Amino acid sequence: MYLFLFYSVVAVLFLIIVVQSVALRRLFLHRKKSVDSVHLTLFQKSFEPVLLIKNERFVDINQSALKYLGYKSKRDLLNIHPSEISPEFQSDGQSSKEKADKIMKIAEKNGYHRFYWEHKNKNGELLYVDVSLTLVEIKGEKHFYTTWRDLKEKKQAEMELMLAKQKAEESDRLKSAFLESISHEIRTPMNAIIGFSQLLNYKENTEEDRAEFINYINKSGNSLLLIIDNILDVSTLRSGVLEVRQTELNLNRLFDELWEYFNFETSVKTVCLEVDNRLRDSEMNIVVDGSRLRKTMFQLLNNATKFTERGTVKLGCDKKGDMLEFFVKDTGVGINKKEIEYVFDVFRKGNPRGEKLYGGTGLGLSIAKASVESMGGEIWLESEAGKGTSVFFTIPLQVVKVK
């Protein structure tokens, strides 16, 4: 009787244990299924690109990652190595394939790794991403849960900062070079003015000697005045304010004035100075900032005659619709293609290769550009090393009406 009761109790306890085990297993599976469901939802609904990697291949990709890479279907990216959507080499020079393999080994060893990476989208554009690799186990197999954070804006900011730094350093270098050369440029005409002024006092001088000395003094004085004007103009240019004062100007008189001044410069060389004015007589009187137009032509001719040892220097004007197009062409040393884009920068001084050293402050073309633009025109340049330079600029045509 007691034995029967004992076995009955044992049987009931065993049945209870079995029922509880089944219930616990069902509860575990339900909870696991719920957790997997949550993970799946987080993976698919994440606003950040998320990818799963197994055996160094993509095995799943969420919609954000597809959109970020520019693909429509997962099939285009499944079972490929991360390096296949990367440039051949990363920015540090390492092979994308080799570097990716090294990084995944580090992540597998430590369970987590974070790094910067360059990928390519479907159109081949570079993508800069902050990557996090987390080692997880899914259905008993190791995966890398991979998240990307876009660094395009950060990368652009870094590039802009680097370019600004380089520009500032270049500006400082050019300013230093300008300050070094300006003392020489000022001393040269000053020494000539003082020296020839002293020579005028000698009684033995002939009238021809005196005339020659006076000519050198005038020339040096004009050179010094140009340097001072350039320094004042570049100060105004840096402030961003250039006043335009409209007056009446006769172009024939302007060209005659320029020819008379620069003819002496070209006559001592084997250079012919030519004027090519293609306007009608009725278009010669215009309304313009005469001072700025005169200075602009003077700057361009000063460069042309300085860098031309033989051949021709031609200045002129033509009508182009409602604009006047001025030009100064020479057969001088020319400019290398790499330097053309910088010729209008402040403090940028021409440095043609050769034995001769050319003077100058490096301000002329930058001032000319600012002057032309302040008058409502534009300026450009065509040149080839060893074959001369042609500078063109336009200003609005405003002919003086005959009363």
Q: Where are the domains of the chain?
A: 33-150, 155-240, 242-403
Structure tokens at 363: 């301000």
In the three-class reduction of DSSP (H, G, I as helix; E, B as strand; rest coil), residue 92 is classed as coil
pLDDT at 386: 86
- In this prediction, residue 31 carries a pLDDT of 45
CATH class of 33-150: alpha beta
pLDDT at 22: 47
Placement of tokens 């959109």 in the chain: 67
- ∠177-178-183 over CA atoms, to 5°? 105
pLDDT at 29: 44
Separation CA 257–CA 222 (nearest Å): 14
Q: What's the CATH fold of domain 155-240?
A: Helix Hairpins (1.10.287)
Contacts of 51 (CB under 8 A, 6+ apart): 58, 60, 61, 62, 65, 146, 148
Q: pLDDT at position 300, please?
A: 92
In angstroms, the Cα distances linking 382 to 341, 354, 376 are 11, 21, 21
Query: For residue 293, what pLDDT is reported?
Result: 92
Instruction: Give CA–CA dist 262/66, Å, rounded.
Output: 68
pLDDT in tens, 104-136: 999 999 999 999 999 999 999 999 999 999 999
Mean pLDDT by 10 residues, the chain (403 residues): 53 51 48 45 73 92 90 90 93 92 93 92 91 89 91 79 79 68 75 86 84 85 79 68 80 91 83 89 86 90 89 92 93 86 70 50 78 90 90 89 58
The β-bridge relationship of strands 323-330 and 379-383 is unpaired
- CA atoms of 84 and 174, how far apart (whole Å): 45
Contact (Cβ atoms closer than 8 angstroms) between residue 307 and residue 350: yes
- Take residue 259 and report the two structure tokens written for it: 């020819």
The residues that bridge with 380 in the sheet, in sequence order, are: 392
Q: What is the pLDDT of residue 109?
A: 92
What whole-number distance in Å separates Cα of residue 290 and Cα of residue 302? 18
- C-alpha–C-alpha distance, residues 335 and 352, integer Å: 7
Q: Which residues sit opposite 379 in a β-bridge?
A: 393
Q: What is the pLDDT of residue 169?
A: 76
Contacts of the segment 1-8: beta carbons below 8 A, 24+ positions apart:
none
pTM as predicted: 0.51
First to last CA, the chain: 144
Domain spanning 242-403: CATH superfamily = Histidine kinase-like ATPase, C-terminal domain (3.30.565.10)
Which are the contacts of 216, defined by CB distance < 8 A and separation ≥ 6?
Answer: 192, 196
Torsion of CA 312, 315, 319, 322, to 10 degrees: 140
As a whole number of angstroms, the distance between CA 278 and CA 284 comes to 10
